[in-house]
Amino acid sequence: MRDYVRPIPISDPADLPGALPLAGGWARFTHAEVLRRGRPPEIVAVDALSPGLLDTLTAPRAAIGGIDFDRPRLMGILNLTPDSFSDGGQHAVGTEALDRARALVSEGADILDIGGESTRPGAQEVPEAEEIARVRPVIEALAADGPSVPLSLDTRKSGVARAGLAAGADWINDVSGLRFDPALARVAAESGAPLVLMHSIGTPGTMQAAAATAYEDVLLDVYDALEAAVAVAVAAGVPRRSIIVDPGIGFGKTDPQNRALLARIGLFHGLGLPILLGASRKGMIGRIAGVADASRRGPGSAGIGLWAVSQGVQILRVHDMEMHRQAISLWQACAAPAP
Ligand code: HH2
């Protein structure tokens, strides 16, 4: 039976004997939790782990497209959709979208994520030509005259990715983890674009109904699925060092399943790649914190964001940029006080 090893991150300033850096970043670990299907977790000290695994868990993650991971990074969401769950229709018009992009970067965005198809639960697929028509003008304008941060294109479709990259997009963000359109891997390979592989099941239309029965152990199943998606991308020619993984909060997961993933999100450091988390304004925050209006879920989103940073997660995909930038900068100032 396979062992899954989760480093137990520490953000305390104490000089703990034997503590190792987690993914070369701001958190450290002295112990790990060994998880096995159907068995209780076992806690082991780092010296019980194999040298190869320790290398994977401790090595600094390679910089991707000019972004290094010695500090937490923020990806600002720019939805060019009339129907996104939290900000639908607000930024769909050209100049408004550009203003919003500039505001996100001035408030702290390291990367912009541009999307022309809502993937909220129940959303309908957008035809490729329409998705291209939504994203291309904004990408062209941002590439020509926008803030100088990488532009990520949130799409499941190889045709949209190809058009977006030609217009000036830098990264591809695929919420289907290469399940929707396997040709997307070749587009990433040929262009050299960094590729975010997110875990999801089914389609936005079917995923929530499937969640209840989809997993034997949600954490370990999502880990296996992301590992397999990374292998598919690498086999298609995408360099491993340009892949980012994301457990896909809310994509075919119930609230208890989302919480199981968030609680032990550090397990994904075992893949040896940067981790991205997109929990911003999602339904779970509304249900747990009692906030029906998605646009008012910034504080709950930042709460999850700080938890993720404490677990060594490298990139947060967020709507409320200023709130996250402030929260993270103060978290860091407390965790690593000036000498
Ligand atoms: N979530 C959404 C869209 N894209 N990409 C990644 N990598 N991770 C995520 O969690 C993720 C994502 C859904 O959120 P949003 O863009 O705000 O809404 P919508 O899909 O309705 O446009």
Query: With 70 as the cut, is the pLDDT of residue 118 above it?
Result: yes
Please report the pLDDT score of residue 127 as a whole number. Answer: 96
Please report the pLDDT score of residue 96 as a whole number. Answer: 87
Look-up of token digits 């941002």: 142
Please report the pLDDT score of residue 91 as a whole number. Answer: 54
**Cα-to-centroid distance, 278 and ligand 1 (Å):** 7
User: What is the pTM assigned to this prediction?
Assistant: 0.96
Q: What mean pLDDT do residues 4-9 have? A: 98
Q: What mean pLDDT do residues 325-339 have? A: 91
Rounded CA-CA distance 27/36 in Å is 24
Query: With 90 as the cut, is the pLDDT of residue 339 above it?
Result: no
Burial class (CB in 10 A: 0-12, 13-18, 19+), 31: middle
Q: What are the sequence ranges of the domains in the chain?
A: 67-335
* CB distance 117 to ligand 1 below 6 Å: no
Per-residue burial over 298-317, b if 16 or more Cβ lie within 10 Å, else e, is: bebbbbbbbebbbbbbbbbb
Q: Where are the alpha helices (DSSP H) in 168-267?
A: 183-191, 207-214, 218-235, 255-263
Residue 248 Ramachandran class (φ > 0 left, ψ -120 to 50 alpha, else beta): left
Rounded CA-CA distance 306/325 in Å is 10
**Cα-to-centroid distance, 116 and ligand 1 (Å):** 11
Q: What mean pLDDT do residues 315-327 have? A: 98
Rounded CA-CA distance 25/36 in Å is 27
Please report the pLDDT score of residue 94 as a whole number. Answer: 66
Q: Which among 3, 93, 9, 89 has a CA at the least distance from the CA of 49? A: 3
Query: With 60 as the cut, is the pLDDT of residue 117 above it?
Result: yes
pLDDT tens-digit profile of 274-305? 999 999 999 999 999 999 999 999 999 999 99
Please report the pLDDT score of residue 114 as a whole number. Answer: 98
pLDDT tens-digit profile of 71-98? 999 999 999 988 655 555 555 556 889 9
Please tell me the class of the 67-335 domain. Answer: alpha beta
DSSP element (H, E) containing 318: strand 315-318
**Cα-to-centroid distance, 336 and ligand 1 (Å):** 31
**Cα-to-centroid distance, 279 and ligand 1 (Å):** 8
Query: With 80 as the cut, is the pLDDT of residue 26 above it?
Result: yes
Cβ atoms of 231 and 223 within 8 Å: the answer is no
pLDDT tens-digit profile of 124-147? 899 999 999 999 999 999 999 888
Please report the pLDDT score of residue 213 as a whole number. Answer: 83
Mutate which of 175, 201, 276 for ligand 1 pocket (most atoms within 8 A of beta carbon): 175
* CB distance 258 to ligand 1 below 6 Å: no
| Least trusted range by pLDDT, from 47-56, 95-104, 186-195, 290-299 | 95-104
Q: What mean pLDDT do residues 243-251 have? A: 98
Tell me, yes or no, if 317 is annotated catalytic: yes
Average pLDDT, the chain: 95
Please report the pLDDT score of residue 121 as a whole number. Answer: 87
Residue tagged active-site, from 157, 282, 297, 325: 282
Confidence band, pLDDT 50/70/90 cuts, at residue 18: very high
Of 84 and 65, the structure prediction assigns the larger pLDDT to: 65
DSSP-assigned letters across all residues of 135-159: HHHHHHHHHHHS-SSPEEEE-S-HH
Please report the pLDDT score of residue 337 as a whole number. Answer: 72
Please report the pLDDT score of residue 217 as a whole number. Answer: 97
Tell me, yes or no, if 100 is annotated catalytic: no
Q: Which among 281, 271, 272 has a CA at the least distance from the CA of 316? A: 281
Confidence band, pLDDT 50/70/90 cuts, at residue 243: very high
